[in-house]
Amino acid sequence: MTNTLPVLESLVLAAVLFALGLICVLVRRNIVFMLMGLEIMLNAAGLAFIAAGARWGSADGQVMFIFILTLAAAEVSVGLALILQMFQRFKTVDVDVLRRMEG
Amino acid sequence: MLHLLWLVPLLPLLGFTTLVLLQRVLSRTATAIVGVGSVGLSCALALAIASNFLLAPPMGGAFTQTLWTWMQVGDFAPSISLRFDALSLVMMLVITVVGFFIHLYSAEFMAADRSYLRFFAYMNLFVASMLVLVLAGDLLFLFLGWEGVGLCSYLLIAFWHEDPHNCVCGRKAFIVTRIGDVGFLIALLLIFTELGSLDIHTLMQHASAQWPVGSPVAIATAVLLLAGALGKSAQVPLQTWLPEAMAGPTPVSALIHAATMVTAGMYLIARTHTLFELAPPVLLAVAIIGVLTLLISGFSALAQNDIKRILAYSTISQIGYMFLALGVGAWAAAIFHFLTHAFFKALLFLSAGVVIQALDEEHDIHRMGGLRTRLPAAFWSYLIGSASLAAVPLITAGFYSKDLIIASVWSSPLGGPWLWAGAVLGAFLTSVYIFRSVFIAFFGEPRTLVGQRPRARALIALTVLSIGALVIGFLEIPDIFGGGVHVLSEFLQQTLPRSAARPEPARVEWLLELVTVCISIAGIYLAYRLFLRRKPEAEALASTEDANLLRRFWGSGFGFDWVYYRVLVGPYEWFARVNRRDVLDVFYNTLAAISRMLYGMLRQTQTGNLRWYMGVLAAGGVVLVAIVVLT
């Protein structure tokens, strides 16, 4: 079986995606965008699994990616529910407003 | 009949429990009936048992009743057992009879008191504990009674607890006697480890079989037991609590601090006499302490103005006589003096109580005066008590018992002329100080109004005790007065060894007898000259600088309290003040301060900013990866 997926490039792409997602989480104050950043980070991790699985010719990478997809779906459902709650209670999606919950 | 012995201490205990449990229900009359009645029943039963014992003595002169085993830990199995012999019979009779009449008197004396029930509850508990003390066949059971009477003494001294001074007095009595009790407790442990038993009869047999005379362990045991006895019986150097104990109601002083509890030390020594005979130096120490105590407290009593304090010092000094008798091996003489002392001292206290109540809580004898005609009942009973205390020859009980002690001190191989001289000087002091109080308080000009007079119940008690203070002495009459009677000492020989005596020629005996007779008369005459006739020369002598100094020194009880305050109490209080912030707390407070500081620092990181948490999380991840990659 020929190696159709270039490992190095895909890992670099995963790292770049991960960094972009992280920056999105850290920089954006809108909680919806932070959630999107998290999704990007999850997908970057998934891409790294797929690349590694292809490199060793193992199905484990793809199994792991399906797990991550499920995890992301669950996380989004919970996250969106929380965001709805937050919006109802604080009338904003700015995460810094939540600082008043400190203490 | 003898098997009912367990009921004697139980009846007062039942009285106590009834009073405590039904305190909301009982009226004052019912309280008096329960409180006095329980002791009265116990007294009647004790008399019945005693006559039974005398008519049909049990085998070996002692009756043992083991009720049950207290606890069992390996070999250690102290039992709740009673031992009834000649010694405990005399003690039991005195406690129940004198105790009953004092209870009867209290029913009237305390009638106006708010805490009528509490008083009788404590008194019944006291009588029960005291009976346990004298009837116990096991040293640990005896110790239970010993601590029980100490507790009741504390509770009753501080009975009027609204006045903080009374509480201080109660605490002082409790703590000072506790110092002696520590010695007693160590003695118990020592006896158990050395002899393997705390049953009094068994341990005596083991001790005389195992320990040679004068062996260190016997001496150590005797010294420790003596410490307990000194504390309880208020002997030098632990005598300072008894004058303070007069803060309690007068019947309490009569019952606990004159007739019964304070003689517990003497009882303990008589009970464990085998151990003391194995330690001759300790026996000598007992005699010397006795003489020192009777002299110191005799001089102190001379300078007191509070009638109850005079009687308190006189109690200390009379117990000093008992210790002296024990120390020279005149066991029966000590018990005899205990017997007469219980009657005449209870009588003195009760008549002093009548005076105090009639004069509206007046204790100072210089503010009394002229009570002879105005309170005749109190006067006659106080006079009889004083005559007995001062050993007025032939007609009073105190004469026979004190005379027996003084004679034994002379003739015993353990005694000698020095101890004898001390005892005679003490007898002289006794008649001076007690007749000083008689002449000042009952003769002369009236100085205060007389209020309440004694009624039936108090009069009965005073009469019976007066008769006792006169006739009890005829149990023991020396040989030279036509034949001689030795009922008590012959009876006590079943339990206590006969006192050894050098035979003296009749001439010497007559001479000694004459000395004791004269010395008491001389004391009374001196008191008469000094305090009733009041010669101007005597007044001038009494008001000099030196006399005042001496009076202050004697009045303070030879400064024992001052020394103890300086040496023990003062430094302790100083240390408590200095160490108010406990030194050990510094360590724990530092620990607490450090954790609080760390908490403050960590708290700064909890900003509530989600993105900040994220960033820290990411940074942590980076650091972890870097560590993994770089190493």
Average pLDDT, chain A: 88
Look at residue A86 and tell me whether its pLDDT is greater than 70.
yes
Give the sign of the dihedral formed by CA B237, CA B243, CA B249, CA B254: positive
Look at residue A34 and tell me whether its pLDDT is greater than 50.
yes
Do B606 and A29 lie within an 8 Å CB cutoff? no
Work out the percent of chain B whose per-residue pLDDT is above 70: 100
**A68–chain B nearest CA distance, Å:** 19
Task: Give residue A11's domain range.
Answer: 7-94
**Assigned domain for A99 exists:** no
Residue B155 near residue B170, CB atoms below 8 Å = yes
Beta bridge partners of B586: none
Do A102 and B606 lie within an 8 Å CB cutoff? yes
Do A25 and B611 lie within an 8 Å CB cutoff? yes
Query: Looking at the complex, does the CB of residue A20 fall below 8 Å from at least one CB of chain B?
Result: no
For residues A31 and A44, what is the distance between their CA atoms, to the nearest angstrom?
20
Reported as a single tens digit per residue, the pLDDT across B138-152 is 999 999 999 999 999
Query: Looking at the complex, does the CB of residue B625 fall below 8 Å from at least one CB of chain A?
Result: no
Burial of B620 (0-12, 13-18, 19+ CB in 10 A): exposed
**B608–chain A nearest CA distance, Å:** 5
Q: What is the pLDDT of residue A103?
A: 47
**Assigned domain for A25 exists:** yes
**Assigned domain for A2 exists:** no
Beta strands in B29-115 (DSSP E): 62-69, 79-85
Query: What band does A3 get if pLDDT is binned at 50, 70 and 90?
Result: low
- Minimum-distance CB partner of A26 among B606, B608, B614: B614
Query: Looking at the complex, does the CB of residue B604 fall below 8 Å from at least one CB of chain A?
Result: no
Reported as a single tens digit per residue, the pLDDT across B443-455 is 888 887 787 788 8
Average pLDDT, chain B: 89
> What are the residue ranges of helices labelled H in B56-163?
86-109, 116-135, 139-157
- Of residues B236 and A102, more confidence is placed in B236
Mean pLDDT of B38-55: 93
| Count of C-beta atoms within a 10 Å radius of residue B386 | 30
Nearest to B55 by CA among B134, B4, B2, B97: B2
**Chain B residue with minimum CA distance to A30:** B611
- Spell out the residues 6+ positions from residue B17 whose beta carbon is closer than 8 angstroms to its own: none
Query: Looking at the complex, does the CB of residue A92 fall below 8 Å from at least one CB of chain B?
Result: no
Please give the tally of structural domains in chain A. 1
Q: How many pairs of residues across A and B have Cβ atoms under 8 Å apart?
A: 26
- Minimum-distance CB partner of A99 among B609, B615, B618: B609
- Minimum-distance CB partner of A95 among B607, B610, B615: B610
The CATH number of residue A66's host domain is: 1.10.287.3510
Q: What is the pLDDT of residue B66?
A: 87
| Count of C-beta atoms within a 10 Å radius of residue B144 | 18
For residues B72 and B579, what is the distance between their CA atoms, to the nearest angstrom?
43
- Minimum-distance CB partner of B611 among A95, A101, A102: A95
Mean pLDDT of B337-350: 93
SS3 assignment, position B213:
coil
Q: Write out chain B residues lying below 8 Å of A102, CB-based.
A: 606-608
Do B608 and A102 lie within an 8 Å CB cutoff? yes
Mean pLDDT of B386-402: 90
For residues B510 and B84, what is the distance between their CA atoms, to the nearest angstrom?
38
Beta bridge partners of B65: B82
Quote the tokens at residue A37: 């950043």
Look at residue B534 and tell me whether its pLDDT is greater than 80.
no
Reported as a single tens digit per residue, the pLDDT across B503-514 is 777 788 888 888
Query: What band does B127 get if pLDDT is binned at 50, 70 and 90?
Result: very high
- Minimum-distance CB partner of A25 among B606, B607, B614: B614
Q: Write out chain A residues lying below 8 Å of B606, CB-based.
A: 102
Q: Write out chain B residues lying below 8 Å of A22, CB-based.
A: 618
Domain parsing of chain B, residue ranges: 581-630
Reported as a single tens digit per residue, the pLDDT across B538-589 is 777 777 888 888 888 888 888 888 899 999 989 999 998 888 888 888 899 9
Residue B159 near residue B218, CB atoms below 8 Å = no
- Spell out the residues 6+ positions from residue B523 whose beta carbon is closer than 8 angstroms to its own: B390, B427, B428, B429, B430, B431, B432, B435
Q: What is the pLDDT of residue B483?
A: 67
Q: Write out chain A residues lying below 8 Å of B615, CB-based.
A: 26
Do B608 and A100 lie within an 8 Å CB cutoff? yes
**Assigned domain for A17 exists:** yes
Q: What is the pLDDT of residue A102?
A: 54
